[in-house]
């Protein structure tokens, strides 16, 4: 075997492997940890293996330690994280982790997190690369919905993730992670994102540190943006962004701020964990552009809790539906959407 590491990764009992440099390997099995040495003859051999395993990565990306300190890829059934100096003491530290698949939107329908019509709205928004802002009072709930939506991405698309920690995990996709460790990182982080021309951008947490860059990034790249934000409702998320940008850019007019939000995000989705009933999408609102040259918020979906209902409540849909949905469908497709139960 040209790559001796493969015989260990092929063992069904191995769930994780940590490669530190070229001469330290740790494999995690049900029986404990297995340590071996000298699997790769030199650093060049390790590089060649990573380039083969992660076939969408370029040698330039692998060697560019300033722009890409962390790379993340999927090679069935492994999530592969590549850490590079100065993040690690070694030139490369590589972590192979066998993945448990994130739940799909269909799974969330089965669990009554959302209904079939709501799933259709999200799927169409993803297909058209519309911006989606997902809000919740608990980031972990936000991440679960973002991960489910990300499973609709084409597996050949390059995804750029603006991350805080490792909250977002993707299955069978190729992603570049960009980390924001302090308030001065955001501009450089988004410059790095723009430089790779991703088809999709995921922003794990919209905050006061990065909100301006979030609203400007799609001026440079035509990418579908999904972002998470901590808030109490979708309207609160919108107002939080508007208020923060006004404080940071006093010369930006209200019309300009509204236009940037409107051009970045088409949907506001709020999701929470309900006591006894679990995760529910509580509301989806569409950001539209009004005749008065301001963004207006239209309600599309609302979950109405009912403690006496064994399902916890029911989903109410507006009759108008999402404007982007109707504009992209023909009449027969609109009828099929309306008939979804």
pLDDT score of 229 more than 90? yes
Q: Which residue has the higher pLDDT, 244 or 157?
A: 244
| Separation between Cα atoms, residue 165 and residue 168, nearest integer Å | 8
Of the listed ranges 72-76, 106-110, 201-205, 263-267, the least confidently predicted one is 72-76
| Separation between Cα atoms, residue 105 and residue 278, nearest integer Å | 15
Rounded to 10 deg, the angle between the 254-264 and 234-248 helix axes is: 130
CA 323 remoteness from chain centre: 24
Q: What is the pLDDT, as a whole number, of residue 135?
A: 95
What digits encode the pLDDT tens for the residues 60-90? 666 665 455 667 666 667 777 777 655 455 5
By the 10 Å C-beta count (0-12 exposed, 13-18 middle, 19+ buried), 154 is classed as exposed
pLDDT score of 245 more than 80? yes
Counting residues of the chain whose pLDDT is more than 90, the rounded percentage is: 27
Q: How many CB atoms lie within 10 A of CB 47?
A: 17
Q: Which residue has the higher pLDDT, 20 or 238?
A: 238
Q: Which residue has the higher pLDDT, 294 or 152?
A: 152
Where in 199-322 does DSSP place strands (E)?
A: 200-203, 224-230, 267-274, 278-289, 295-305, 313-317
| Separation between Cα atoms, residue 247 and residue 262, nearest integer Å | 19
| Separation between Cα atoms, residue 80 and residue 16, nearest integer Å | 10
Which residue pairs, CB below 8 angstroms and at least 24 apart, start in 49-52? 49/3, 49/5, 50/80, 50/82, 50/92, 50/94, 52/3
DSSP codes of every residue in 19-60:
EETTS-EEEEETTEEEEE--SSSSHHHHHHHHHHHSTT--HH
Place 341 in a pLDDT band, splitting at 50, 70 and 90. very low
Is residue 117 within 8 Å of 315, Cβ to Cβ? yes
| Average of per-residue pLDDT across 314-338 | 62
| Average of per-residue pLDDT across 316-332 | 65
Q: What is the pLDDT, as a whole number, of residue 190?
A: 83
Q: What is the pLDDT, as a whole number, of residue 339?
A: 45
Q: What is the pLDDT, as a whole number, of residue 57?
A: 63
Q: What is the pLDDT, as a whole number, of residue 52?
A: 79
Q: What is the pLDDT, as a whole number, of residue 335?
A: 44
Q: What is the pLDDT, as a whole number, of residue 181?
A: 58
pLDDT score of 110 more than 70? yes
- What separation in angstroms does the CA of 265 have from each of 145, 243, 295? 16, 16, 11
Is residue 241 within 8 Å of 261, Cβ to Cβ? yes
């Amino acid at each position: 075997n040209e790559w001796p590491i493969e015989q260990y990764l092929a063992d069904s009992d191995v769930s994780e492997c940590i490669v530190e440099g070229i001469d330290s390997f740790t494999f995690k099995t049900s029986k404990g940890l297995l340590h071996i040495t000298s699997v790769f003859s030199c650093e060049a051999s390790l590089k060649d293996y990573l380039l083969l395993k992660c076939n969408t990565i370029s040698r330039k990306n692998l060697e560019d330690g300033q722009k890409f300190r962390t790379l993340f890829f999927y090679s069935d059934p492994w999530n592969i994280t590549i850490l590079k100096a100065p993040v690690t003491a070694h030139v490369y530290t590589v972590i192979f982790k066998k993945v448990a698949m994130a739940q799909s939107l269909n799974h969330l329908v089965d669990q009554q997190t959302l209904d079939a019509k709501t799933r259709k709205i999200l799927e169409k928004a993803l297909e058209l690369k519309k911006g989606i802002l997902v809000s919740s009072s608990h980031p972990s709930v936000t991440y679960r919905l973002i991960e489910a939506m990300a499973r609709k991405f084409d597996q050949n698309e390059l995804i750029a993730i603006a991350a805080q920690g490792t909250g977002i995990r993707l299955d069978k996709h190729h992603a570049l992670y960009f980390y924001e460790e302090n308030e001065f990182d955001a501009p450089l982080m988004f410059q790095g994102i723009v430089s790779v021309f991703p088809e999709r951008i995921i922003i794990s947490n919209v905050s006061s540190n990065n909100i301006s860059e979030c609203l400007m990034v799609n001026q440079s790249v035509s990418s579908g943006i999904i972002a998470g934000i901590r808030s109490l409702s979708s309207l609160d998320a919108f107002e939080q962004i508007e208020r923060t940008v006004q404080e940071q850019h006093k010369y930006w007019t209200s019309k300009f701020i509204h236009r940037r939000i409107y051009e970045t995000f088409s949907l506001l989705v709020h999701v929470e964990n309900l006591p006894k009933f679990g995760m529910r999408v509580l509301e989806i609102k569409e950001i539209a552009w009004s005749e008065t040259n301001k963004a207006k918020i239209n309600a599309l979906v609302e979950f109405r809790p009912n403690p006496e209902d064994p399902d916890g409540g029911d989903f109410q849909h507006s009759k108008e539906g999402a404007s982007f949905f109707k504009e992209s469908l023909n009449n027969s497709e609109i009828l099929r959407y309306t008939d979804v139960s």
